[in-house]
Amino acid sequence: MVGRCVRLSRRNTDALLTSLLLPVILMLLFVYLFGGAIDTGSAYVTYVVPGVLLLCAGFGAATTAVSVTTDLTNGVVERLRTMDVGATAILAGHVVASVVRNSVSTVLVLAVAVAIGFRPALDPPRWLAAAGVLLLFLFAVSWLSAAFGLLARTPEAANGFTFLVMFLPYPSSAFVPVETMPSWIRGFADHQPVTPVIETLRALLLATPAGSAPARAVAWCLGILVVAVALSAVLFRRRVG
């Protein structure tokens, strides 16, 4: 199932290029058009890269939801079920393929970021920890998007459901410090799942104090993952039987 989903992604050139290149374009846009006007206490490219990595997850998640809904509406799932392929394998194929796509996009973003001035700490344990947090987040949002795909009746609706995932990095600490926001937005930014993940990645990649962000990030990711997997199982039984 994973191989099938990866091959489908590779053949869908438009969606593949969007998921790979759009985060890079947005990073360049923020760094070169807005970065000079935003004071974060350091080079803006250094500040913004962790947030762009989370944007990659949002774009990849949208593709997961659309793929799940497309399989349901085209009758592919019914054909797979006649071969005694379980729901877990079908959905996990989409989820793991999403993680693979996002991993490639993440490497591309980091390579471009280094080329334009991003200088992370050269500390292998911190890099491994950052990769672990990012992979956990990717699995969580990919399973959540699979659930959205099961809820939607058309691929277009599935794409709309995942707007929330793609929107969350903006009212967070991804692009500007939370303390610069109006108080009514600051409360939301401080208590949504993306902010502690970004702060954790930023602390690990730049070797700065992380505080309580790692614990909150892992708690959010595990909570989303558990709810998304359970919800996907229920929705799959209702859709397919």
What is the residue type of 232? S
Cα(10)–Cα(47) distance, rounded to whole angstroms? Answer: 32
From the list 206, 187, 188, the residue with the least C-alpha distance to 41 is 206
Report residues of the chain scoring pLDDT below 70: 15-16, 241
What is the residue type of 92? A
pLDDT score, position 222: 96
pLDDT score, position 15: 67
Provide the residue ranges of all domains of the chain, joining segments of one domain with +: 2-240
- pTM equals 0.88
What is the residue type of 117? G
pLDDT score, position 17: 72
pLDDT score, position 98: 84
What is the residue type of 58? G
